[in-house]
Chain A
Amino acid sequence: MITKNIMIVGVGGQGTLLTSRILGGLMADAGYDVKISEVHGMAQRGGSVVTYVRYGDKVAEPIVEEGQADVLIAFERLEALRYAHFLKKEGVLIINDERIDPMPVVTGAAEYPGEIIETLKEKVTVYSIDAMAEAKKLGNQRVFNLVVLGMAARHMDFSKEDWIKVISEKVPKKTIDINIKAFETGYQS
């Protein structure tokens, strides 16, 4: 199989590392060679963070480069825009419709771009969801990333059962039910 490339982008602290653990487990269970590259350290303090996930028969480099991503999962609108050029022309962009102002916007040195999702839709296939609102409805806003992942799962090559199995293994025991519910919410929408 040709190597597939997935990227998860967001703001440090949004839980991108959990998402990549789930993806890695899913692909390893399916018998693929997997490489995942993460950001730890300073950038995790509210900076722009990116995780690369690659799987296939034999994966060489652990990163996804410009113009190479099959699926780009963005946990925040501005980060979707920042990394959209990493997508292949036929790639799919999943956006959590949330705005987190970066410091230059907070201080007034820059403006938060308007109509991000509309602009991106002109170039690539975009699916967006207000995952935070969905997670709040479920009673725990922290599971918003599983809502986003559920939406992304629709555009990847694994069965829903496989996803649910690996989610049950990777999230804390007490939160399995709510995480699966969150995943289902994203998957259905």
Chain B
Amino acid sequence: MKQKEIMLGNAAIARGAWEAGVKVSAAYPGTPSTEISENIVTYPEVYAEWSPNEKVAAEVAIGASIAGSRAMVSMKHVGLNVASDPLYSVSYIGVNAGLLFCVADDPGLYSSQNEQDTRLIGASSHVPVLEPSDSKEALDFTKFAFELSEKYDTPVILRTTTRLGHSQGTVELGERVVPKDKPYERNMKNIMMPASAKMRHPVVEAREIQLAKDACSLPVNRLEMADTSIGFITSGIAYQYVKEVFPEASVLKLGLVYPLPDDLLKDFASKVDRLIVFEELEPFIETYLKSLGIKCEGKELFTRQGEYSANMLREKLKDEKVDAKAANVPNRPPILCPGCPHRSTFYVLKKLGIHACGDIGCYTLGAVDPLNVVDTTVCMGASISMLHGMEKARGREFIKNWVAVIGDSTFMHTGINSLENMAYNRSSATVMILDNSTTGMTGHQDHAATGKTLDGTEVPAISIYKLCKAMNIEHVVEVDAFNTVELEKTVKEETAREELSVIIVCAPCALLKGQKFPYKVKAIPEKCKKCGMCLKPGCPAIKKRPDGTIEIDDTLCNGCGLCTQLCHFGALEKYEL
């Protein structure tokens, strides 16, 4: 019997890749995909790296595949937008050794800026898409993806969702089998220029038609015939909800969600009285069924938004109302942690009445109460380029009380290009790089400016300061995030300057290992004048007592001391630990 283990979906993908003999893995961290890399790096036989962004990571994997070794790249759904340039063209090239794109969608928006559906990108780039429905399949499908990739000479997408990647379930472990590296031969198909692309386009089309045919008998597409009064076509995590509520119904469970198997779909549809398509996000399978003239129900019953559940099926198809009412309670939105250096930065910006073009990271939380400094968030790196666009549209006067705020990891991801643009096209804006020495939001991953690689090896860190200077930006200043006096002075000076400037605001993330202030703060209630100054930055460790004076929650306080700088009456005091 095979050895069994409980594994996170993302850990199972890493295990599957290891068992499939993957030699190279590249990624940029992004919830809900991050743990794939964090697990794959624990297998010493695999070279695994954090790349600066998803495009670079994809190209690293493509290079490895063309050189003859199995390779993979993993990312969150919006990361595929960044990597879509190589994806669309490597679809034409195909592979030498197996090539896998692991892409994690986020229905329900647990940690993302949109709910895009990767299956649509698979279809438009003509890349097959596999979708597992639990940890076991995550492992098995990852292995299968490499076979599929080599057999059909195509990259393959393994599409997961937050619920799949962040759920643990039982997997069956196998051995690692490393196929011999494929011989490298110079081949015109690896050179995508018009003449060769023209030759490859029909190959891509033929490949897809063939795979769609073969998909009718692929074991990942599973027919579970039972009661035929109702039949479901479903895939991924949605399949589990169907099994939960309709264990006796007939189900066509699709493991390969693109291309779809015409004959299998038609055959199944003809055998059931009522056909329901149960798929999260876009009506991808449903639209295809309708294009084949197959009658089915889907989005008229179930939403395009958020995650699905078993209760949705109970309600819509069994008319069972769930008798459970939620209490009306205050929300608990995510907040900046106690001791977070961004709180100090946003406090200063708010005091100065400054608006910020924001970016992707924990500091997006500068958009909400009580800070309300961040005005925009679009995608990685956009803070800098958008501020530039604002200035070009409305002039210097418009942006004189604006800055761009971007974290160190996001700056290294795609912020560099945007700053290059500002330097080149004569911006007069101020960019604040909030350097907390890590990729914070995704749980502390290193990058080129931290001086450590994915496996913890120390390497020379790229200096963000020198990088800015190399762009011929004259005014680049480094400031300690927790020195509010200095920070305020610097922001005033630099935003007043009619030239491009960069303020690098430094202080490590409060949750970073080894990062501990040697202090905590205590409140002295007799001195408290109930003025509320210390409450302004919204630190969760500071609480108001019923009499209006302040107390510090000792278990939460991180000792950053920001509040002691704000109290004019000495009612908050640092003490050494």
Contacts and interface: CB of A to CB of B under 8 A. Distances in A.
A binds B: yes
Contacts of B110: 39-43
A68 B155 CA distance: 42
A65 B243 contact: no
On chain A, which size bracket covers the interface?
35 or more
Interface stretch (A28-36, A150-158, A172-180, A181-189): A28-36
Contact of B166 (A40, A110, A111): A40
Given A46-B335, A47-B333, A78-B329, A62 B555 contact: no
Interface in A74-114: 78-79, 81-82, 84-86, 100-107, 109-113
Contacts of A132: 555
Interface in A53-74: 59-63, 65-67
A125 interface: no
Contacts of B337: 13, 45-46
Nearest to A113: B329
Interface string B545-577: 000000000011000000000000000000000
A62 B169 contact: yes
A45 B334 CA distance: 5
Contact of B370 (A67, A107, A113): A107
B160 interface: no
B24 to A, nearest CB: 25
A45 B166 contact: no
A40 B244 contact: no
On chain B, which size bracket covers the interface?
35 or more
Contacts of B538: 103, 106-107
Contact of B240 (A24, A36, A62): A62
B518 interface: no
Nearest to A144: B555
Contacts of B336: 45-46
Interface in A110-138: 110-113, 132
B540 interface: yes
Interface string B148-186: 000000000000000100111110000000000000000
A25 to B, nearest CB: 8
B166 A37 contact: yes
A156 B505 CA distance: 50
A44 interface: yes
Contacts of A42: 31, 110-111, 334, 362, 441
A110 B111 CA distance: 25
Contacts of B325: 85
B243 A47 contact: no
Contacts of B310: 61, 65
B311 A66 contact: yes
Interface in B302-316: 309-311
B330 A104 contact: yes
| Residue picked from A24, A43, A65, most chain B C-beta under 10 Å | A65
Nearest to B540: A46
Contacts of A38: 8, 166-168
Given A35-B134, A41-B111, A60 B244 contact: yes
A62 B163 contact: yes
B472 to A, nearest CB: 36
Given A45-B337, A67-B322, A107-B369, A79 B332 contact: yes
B442 interface: yes
Contacts of A103: 332-333, 335, 368-370, 538, 540
Contact of B168 (A34, A39, A84, A85): A34
18 contacts: A28-B6, A36-B167, A37-B167, A40-B34, A41-B442, A45-B336, A46-B337, A62-B168, A65-B309, A66-B311, A66-B322, A67-B324, A81-B327, A85-B326, A86-B324, A103-B538, A104-B369, A113-B330
Interface of B: 6, 8, 31-32, 34-35, 110-111, 134, 163, 166-170, 237, 240-241, 243-244, 309-311, 322-327, 329-337, 362, 365, 368-370, 441-443, 535, 538, 540, 543, 555-556
Interface of A: 11-13, 20, 24-25, 28, 33-48, 59-63, 65-67, 78-79, 81-82, 84-86, 100-107, 109-113, 132, 141
